[in-house]
Structure 1
Amino acid sequence: MNARPGSFGRFVADADAAGNLVVQPRMGFCAPHHMRTGLALTKAAAATTAGTLTIDSYTRVGDLAAARTALGEGAPLNGYPIAAHPAACTRALLDGVVDDTFPVQVRHGSSHPEPIIRALSAAGLDATEGGPVSYCLPYGRTPLDVSVDNWSRGCELLASLMPDGRIAHVESFGGCMLGQMCPPALLVALSLLEGLYFTQHGIRSVSLSYAQQTDTAQDEEAVRALRRLAAEFLPPDVDWHVVLYTYMGVYPASEAGARELLSASARLAVRAEAQRLIVKTAAEAHRIPTIEENVRALQTAARAASTARPAAIAPGGSKGTGDEYTQARTLIEATLELSPDTGRALRAAFARGHLDVPYCLHPDNAGRSRSFIDSTGRLRWSATGAMPVPPAPTSAGRTSVSARELLDAVHYVARRYDAAPAD
């Protein structure tokens, strides 16, 4: 994986070599002193942690004037407005907190990342996340071709702004499309394709994401497929790792259910050999979590991870084989055949429906694919449109999903964990 000294990737690689899963919160506060406290307590948690600056909604959509107005009026924001605060303010916030033992990543959700990248670089940071597809299709109306162009400039800008000895890192959000109800093979393919796109635009350290879904065995197969595909497709001089997200969909309402779902994601990360975990808290179903709740979640995940071991592979078997690998590789190859430029290939693949995110309403998504949860709990395709993978056969032979079935599926994980016996 060739992680270089001084990089976000090196920190994760060193933790992995020591047998530790890196755990990371979603955390963003408007006030610098509050944000600094959150980072300091994350660093002090009884876990191997990375910090997060999650950016506010105004900055995400590029409305920097509104972010500055809100700051001037003392209005609350739902994240840290990094492009509205002076760089000196953010550097002071980070001073004495960020070091080689505690990196900080900027997380934002923007299809217009350049102002955020300029601001994080000016503050001395080098790691962010997103992607031309994954920060476009689910969340807004930005045309896909515009997002692809924006992210190509953003990646090249980030790489160019790094001082000597620092390595820019970008994490693909592609494994988290819509949070739920997207079969794993498409998540794996999108994350790998975005990783390739980053490397074509000057990024030499990447992470590939996958979000916990409905079935542990299927998720483990998907994460291993992602690792295998990364080794096969990413350039050899790029360092990379896999980051798992605790379930991104409707969350259990009970504290016990939420805690067990988080613990299950930590055990999954270790069993499937992901190196980093983005956690959720017991408060997710009700409100934005506090700093203390985030810290408890980090420590819960670390304790659960300490009880797990990488899954054994049967004699003669290999890691990353199975349906998820086969389908993901088919989607990746069908996309890359369209152009040697990954950005152009992604645009063409969506235009032709060769990539098609189920239940995504963005105008540049074909919208012909559908998914369902089968009787064993695995996510399957009920319809694949023009994608080069077949839908799963069902006992009834149907290829559609009713509104009631979709609603039941959306609540499947929350209902299952809320029904589990309390600790």
Structure 2
Amino acid sequence: MTGYFDRFVAESRSKGSLVVQPRMGFGKVSSMENGLREVASLDIPVVGTLTIDSYTRVGDHVTPLDRLAAGEELNGYPIVSHPVATTRKMLDGLYGPAFPVQVRHGTARPIHVFQKLVEVGLDATEGGPVSYCLPYSRLPLADAVRAWSESCRLLAGETEYGHIESFGGCLLGQLCPPSLLVAMTVLEGLFFRAHGLRHMSLSYAQGTHPAQDRGALRALRALAEEYLGDVTWHVVLYTYMGLFPRTPSGATALIQESARLARDSGCERMIVKTVSEAWQIPSVAENVSALRLAAAAASGLAEPSTALEGEYFDETLSEAQEIVEAVLNLDSDIGTALIEAFRLGLLDIPYCLHPDNLAAVTCVIDDRGALAWGSTGKVPLSSTVQHCGSDRLASDQLYDMLNHVAQRYDSNEYKWGLVQPS
């Protein structure tokens, strides 16, 4: 029995503090231990991370040890490949009530990762049957749903306080209407609950417009209270997941704005990117610096809500609830409902190339700089939804939208505070 993760976040929230967390992962045990130790030593509320390597994500548990034996580095920690005793020894003296650790993995078939994290004594992880299948793999969605059903039951059965974070509020990381992100993370929360988990977090990725993001986060909280009121949950914000600013000043400004967004919208936890995100895998020092930067930006009083935020809240809440209800009406089994929803196009992720995704919807950046539906395809939304584009976009239009945030923050005007984001 641990339950450190939920208790730590709740206690930090009660003190008015935002919990910050890196996405850090290293293959060598010594490097991973050093990274965790540096993060744990910070004088701010922080959660440690074991981010898993790309080989483990696709089920290859042999190559990681071969590469490490050859003196090479990995882009994450191969928790399945390393012996249980080795990982336990690494965590000894670090993991505990004052420093919870979450396993972040990115695999569509997570059973081996879940088994190992339980064996080493951890109980917090993340992902989801949709959010870790469609964007990151070619595994059929039906297979991912079965794999996640088994894995969630394992975590629920082997741990008393097993915690799982839906990645549904991130999906491809950019160019996705907020209402779809909110609906997806709520639906994955319902999937987790159906398979025995009672401790979870619900994600949302920072978008292109602060007022829209604040409204969407309010909508996420409102729907979580309605649909997941009988479980323990909190909201986690991700610093912008798309193409990151290339200048240190632009990246710094974006990280600071994401931290203020987390503070102003009452998020309990935040996944922090680093200033070097656009050009390299961040070092331990860069992760530590980013965590300090985010914590400092999140200090102080929250900014009051605005009328525009209220408009976005109403819009996102209405659309997300329509999507959630349409999916739930398909089948009493949430896993079956998710599979059927994608087959029918009731759930459809813009620009996602997975074979089980119809890709009939598009998302655009409107003249206010906010994310909007270009085409809604077969997503079950009322006729009042505003469309801001066509079914097809030219390659230069898509390129400009993908670079919108990076270019805005890298501009001289923004760097020197001459203009503020809309």
Q: TM-score range by the shorter chain?
A: over 0.9
2:321 counterpart residue number: 329
Shift, 1:393, TM fit: 3.6
Equivalent residue number for residue 68 of structure 1: 65
Contact 1:171 1:206 survives alignment (8 Å): yes
Q: Deviations over 1:335-391 (max 9, x none)?
A: 000012111110010000000000000000011000110010010001111101255
The Cα of 1:6 is off from its aligned counterpart by: 3.1
Q: What is the deviation of 1:417? A: 0.5
Cα distance change, pair 66–398 in 1 and its aligned pair in 2 (3 A): closer
What does 1:164-179 correspond to in 2, within 5 Å? 166-179=160-173
Q: How does 1:4-43 map to 2 (within 5 A)?
A: 6-43=3-40
**Partner SS state of residue 174, structure 1:** coil
Aligned counterpart, 1:277: 270
User: Does residue 1:114 correspond to 2:111, yes or no?
Assistant: yes
Q: What CA deviation, in whole Å up to 9, does each residue of 1:196-218 have, x standing for no partner?
A: 10011111100000000100000
| Distance in 1 (alpha carbons) for counterparts of 2:87 and 2:303 | 39
Corresponding residue of 1:58: 55
Identical aligned pairs, as a percentage?
50
Q: Secondary structure at the match of 1:170?
A: strand
Give the gaps of 5 or more residues in structure 2: 418-422
* Alignment map for 1:144-223 (pairs within 5 Å): 144-162=141-159, 166-223=160-217
Q: 1:70: how far off?
A: 2.5
Q: Aligned residue for 1:345?
A: 337
Matching residue's letter, 1:272: S
1: CA distance, partners of 2:359 / 2:170: 17
Task: Name 2:410's counterpart in structure 1.
Answer: 418
Secondary structure of the residue aligned to 1:153 is helix
- What SS is found at the alignment partner of 1:322? helix
Relative to structure 1, is the Cα distance of residues 196 and 310 closer, same or farther in structure 2, using a 3 angstrom cutoff?
A: farther
**2:128 maps to 1:131:** yes
The alignment covers a number of residue pairs equal to 412
| 1:224-263 correspondence runs (5 A) | 224-236=218-230, 238-263=231-256
Letter in 2 for 1:265: S
Over 3 Å counting, the alpha-carbon distance change for 1:231 and 1:278 in structure 2 is: same
CA contact (8 A) 1:7 1:169 kept: no
Name the residue aligned to 2:361.
Answer: 369
The residue aligned with 2:283 is 290
Please say if residues 375 and 390 of structure 2, whose CA atoms lie closer than 8 Å, have aligned partners that are also in contact: no
Aligned residue in 2 for 1:405: 397
Give the AA of the match of 2:227: F
**In structure 1, C-alpha distance between the alignment counterparts of 2:253 and 2:310, rounded to whole Å:** 30
CA distance in 2 between partners of 1:291 and 1:6 (Å): 26
Question: What is the distance in 2 between the residues matched to 1:263 and 1:387?
Answer: 34
**Inter-partner Cα distance in structure 2 for 1:359 and 1:312:** 32
Cα displacement string for residues 130-174 of structure 1 (whole angstroms, at most 9, x for unaligned residues): 000000001110000000000010011111222xxx400000000
3-state SS in 2 of match to 1:227: helix
What's the TM-score once normalised by structure 2's chain length?
0.94
Q: Could you tell me how far 1:400 is from its partner in structure 2?
A: 3.6
Deviations 1:182-228 (A, max 9, x none): 01000000001001100111111000000001000000011110000
Letter of the structure 1 residue corresponding to residue 67 of structure 2: A
Q: CA deviation at 1:43?
A: 1.3
Tell whether 2:377 aligns with 1:385. Answer: yes
For the residue of structure 2 that corresponds to 1:176, the secondary structure is coil
Kindly provide the amino acid, as one letter, of the partner of residue 194 in structure 2.
Q
Q: TM-score, normalised by structure 1?
A: 0.94
The answer on whether the counterparts of 1:67 and 1:81 sit within 8 Å (CA) in structure 2 is yes
User: Is the 1:46–1:299 Cα contact (8 Å) retained in structure 2?
Assistant: no
Change in Cα spacing, 1:320 to 1:218, as seen in structure 2 (3 Å) is closer
Q: CA deviation at 1:13?
A: 1.1
